[in-house]
Amino acid sequence: MTPALTALLCLGLSLGPRTRMQAGPFPKPTLWAEPGSVISWGSPVTIWCQGSLEAQEYQLDKEGSPEPWDRNNPLEPKNKARFSIPSMTQHHAGRYRCHYYSSAGWSEPSDPLELVMTGFYNKPTLSALPSPVVASGGNMTLRCGSQKGYHHFVLMKEGEHQLPRTLDSQQLHSGGFQALFPVGPVTPSHRWRFTCYYYYTNTPWVWSHPSDPLEILPSGVSRKPSLLTLQGPVLAPGQSLTLQCGSDVGYDRFVLYKEGERDFLQRPGQQPQAGLSQANFTLGPVSRSYGGQYRCYGAHNLSSEWSAPSDPLDILITGQIYDTVSLSAQPGPTVASGENVTLLCQSRGYFDTFLLTKEGAAHPPLRLRSMYGAHKYQAEFPMSPVTSAHAGTYRCYGSRSSNPHLLSFPSEPLELMVSGHSGGSSLPPTGPPSTPGGPEDQPLNPPGSGPQNGLGRYLEVLIGVSVAFVLLLFLLLFLLLRRQRHSKHRTSDQRKTDFQRPAGAAETEPKDRGLLRRSSPAADVQEENLYAAVKDTQSEDRVELDSQSPHDEDPQAVTYAPVKHSSPRREMASPPSSLSGEFLDTKDRQVEEDRQMDTEAAASEASQDVTYAQLHSLTLRRKATEPPPSQEGEPPAEPSIYATLAIH
């Protein structure tokens, strides 16, 4: 082998390994930041550069800086290096690259890392158009805006490591700026939560504060919940407002959304009973900003899909317009059931719409567009035919189309009283007829309100009649007791007069007897015989004589005295010259015998003589009827004697 060939062979062996090391590719380093590339002002951040195990040194370069930003030795196992920023400022914001050095030289630079500092400007607003709730699989638009003329807007999605989306700003006619970001299709497979920023063109890595986060709710077709207010839809400033969202589906959570707002409230569901779930959203004290239209949604914990929206609920705030309104009833506030009445709401101030509310009613107020006439804005609310359900207290309000949820101060309350049925035929209790015209014209249907005023009037009348009846009953009872007491005293006085005369006192002969003797001798004989018969029976028989004092009775009064004979008598005694002596002598003895004979006479069932004596003040007549002679062996029939005494 020649010396030249040997020299070339040695040169090739010595150059071969070195040529392969220089020609072999170096791995490109990787550059990233923790906790992320978008850092708020003043927060710490760590930048990592990862290369090869042969790296001896790592270098971090910032775009626009002539000198290396930082150099660090690799950490074990020497394949990466760490660059720390303890407090983020706008000077740290920018575009970075890194590369490493080994025995073979420098590697190629990494891909750029844009380190952004936020919080240098005021935050923008982020909203969803038309609302943050979209049907599953649907598309929507997110609007990021600001009142200042920033050049660019950035939209970022939470939990996504993709590059943020940037759009140039557009100026509005109102003077503000905005950018519209289309989003979709929206699916419930993951969470849709966004924030947005803005920046100037000359400082693209210095951003504003982030907007408030906006979450998109993908709604499904599951049954919608119901939304109601516990205080009524019309509220005065300062009142508390509680909205209740509920469903019989058994949702685990609910959200409340107000139209036009960028955010919503979320509450866990509660189950007052099996199969039912609800959530209460307490708001307030309310102000004008609470007026608007609300909806709610329900969802299960294991699903990101929300239910269909509830029916809208309008919350109205009063006292926001100072023009006054008045309310009147035509023909009047008192109407019979079945008749017609019209409630007239009017004002001299300008209003687009008038609203009529009923106290205690849960249904939404009735709305009617105003009409101008006679220098007033007014609306007529007809109710026909009127039923007891229409009775109650009404108020009216005015509103303007610029903000229909802000109302005027209420009118003076009007109490509508419905009396009983009118003279015509009975009509079914229906509400007032619907008036066409869309959402501003709604029928008034006051369910659940009874005729409280009419019932109160009926109760007053019933109480008055009852009191009068009780008083009349007491008066009648008093008169009855007084009459009985008076009768008892009069009977006692009469007995004292008849039975308590002194023994042996001479009985005065009536003056008329003298007249009778002088006028008729035959009548005198009959009178004497009658007195003798009565005298003879005094010792054996019980005499029942009920008479009244001549001074107490009318002169023409007639008195009957039944006289019962213990044994039949036919003989007539000789007329005594006077009855007074013997009759009064036996008075005292007869009183005691009468008491003993009362008991015996009550038990006696044998037929007895009955004598009726009709005493008159002017005449004396006697009629004696004797029974026909009885057969032999039979006792004679008892005679009945009728004596009539009359004084002409």
pLDDT, tens only, 167-185: 998 888 878 899 999 998 8
pLDDT value of position 187: 83
Give residue 490's pLDDT. Answer: 72
At 494 the pLDDT is: 67
Within 10 angstroms of residue 26's Cβ, the number of other Cβ atoms is: 17
d(CA 268, CA 250): 11
The angle formed by the CA atoms of residues 178, 180 and 181, to the nearest 5 degrees, is 140
Based on the domain organization, do 232 and 299 belong to the same domain?
A: yes
Of 455 and 555, the one with more pLDDT: 455
Domain carrying residue 289: 220-317
87 contacts 42 by C-beta, under 8 angstroms: yes
pLDDT at res. 423: 41
Work out the pLDDT band at 194, boundaries 50, 70, 90.
very high
**Residue ending a domain, choose from 396, 419, 442:** 419
Structure tokens that stand for 428 in this block: 């079914």
Q: What is the DSSP string of 379-448?
A: EEEEE-S--GGG-EEEEEEEEETTEEEEEEPPPPPEEEEEEEE-SS-------PPP--SGGG------TT
The pair of three-digit structure tokens given for residue 606, joined into one six-digit string: 């044998």
What is the per-residue burial (b if ≥16 Cβ within 10 Å, else e) of 74-109?
beeebbbbebebeebeeebbbebbbbbbbeeeebee
* Res. 585: pLDDT tops 50: no
Same domain, 308 and 329: no
pLDDT at 487: 79
275: in domain: yes
Q: For the segment 334-361, what is each residue's pLDDT rounded down to a tens digit?
A: 999 999 999 999 999 999 999 999 998 8
What confidence score (pLDDT) does residue 593 get?
52
Average pLDDT, integer, range 245-254: 90
On whether the CB atoms of residues 228 and 278 are closer than 8 A, the answer is no
Q: What does the DSSP assignment read for 527-585?
A: HHHHHHHHHHTTTTS-B------TTTS-TT--EEEEEEESS-----PPPPS-SHHHHHH
* pLDDT for 378 beyond 70: yes
Q: Which residues contact 243 (CB under 8 A, 6 or more apart)?
A: 227, 228, 229, 230, 256, 280, 281, 283, 294, 296, 313
What pLDDT was estimated at residue 578?
Answer: 42
Residue 474, amino acid: F
Query: How far, CA to CA in Å, does 386 sit from each of 184, 190, 346, 435?
Result: 54, 56, 22, 16
pLDDT at 300 over 80: yes
pLDDT at 564: 42
Q: How confident is the model at residue 484 (pLDDT cuts 50, 70, 90)?
A: confident
Residue 530 lies in a domain: no
Residues 47 and 93 in one domain: yes
Q: What gap in Å lies between CA 111 and CA 96, rounded to an integer?
A: 8
Residue 562, pLDDT above cutoff 90: no
Please say which residue of 299, 317, 335 terminates a domain: 317
Give the residues across from 154 on adjacent strands.
166, 197
For residue 492, the model assigns a pLDDT of: 67
Q: Tell me: do 97 and 140 sit in the same domain.
A: no
Does residue 394 share a domain with residue 357? yes
Number of domains in the chain: 4
pLDDT tier at 568, thresholds 50, 70, 90? very low
User: What's the pLDDT at 206?
Assistant: 94
Measure the CA angle with vertex 539, ends 535 and 544; round to 5°: 75
Sole residue written with tokens 């926001």: 320
CATH of the domain at 150: 2.60.40.10
Cis upstream peptide for 285 (omega within 30°): yes
Which residues have CB under 8 Å from 136's CB, separation 6+?
A: 186, 187, 188, 218, 219, 220, 305
pLDDT at 363 over 60: yes
Is 388 within the bounds of a domain?
Answer: yes
Decide if 357 is inside a domain. Answer: yes
Q: Is residue 184, in this structure, part of any structural domain at all?
A: yes
The number of angstroms, rounded, from the C-alpha of 460 to the middle of its chain's C-alpha atoms is 25
Whether residue 130 sits in one domain with residue 88: no
How far is C-alpha 196 from the chain's CA centre? 46
Does 595 map to a domain? no
Residue 232, in any domain of the structure: yes
This prediction has a pTM of 0.51
Q: Are residues 181 and 101 in the same domain?
A: no
**Coil, strand, or helix at residue 332?**
coil
Q: Which two tokens stand for residue 353?
A: 């719409």
Whole-angstrom Cα distance, residue 434 to residue 285? 35
Is the model's pLDDT at 622 over the cut of 70? no
Read off the pLDDT band of 599 (50, 70, 90): very low
Residue ending a domain, among 72, 99, 117, is 117
- Which is more confidently placed, 566 or 468? 468
Q: Is 350 inside a domain boundary?
A: yes
Q: What average pLDDT does range 611-635 have in this prediction?
A: 41
Q: What is the pLDDT of residue 457?
A: 56
Average pLDDT of the chain, as a whole number: 73
pLDDT of 58-113, one tens digit each?
999 999 888 888 998 888 777 889 999 999 999 999 999 999 998 888 899 999 99
Could you tell me what percent of the chain has a pLDDT over 90?
37
pLDDT(116) > 90: yes
More reliable by pLDDT, 56 or 592: 56
pLDDT confidence of residue 525: 44
Tell whether 292 and 346 lie within a shared domain: no
Same domain for 334 and 351:
yes
Same domain, 414 and 363: yes
Tell me, yes or no, whether 49 and 97 share the same domain. Answer: yes
Residue 456 pLDDT > 90, yes or no? Answer: no
Domain identity same for 182 and 233: no
Place of tokens 């009445």: 341
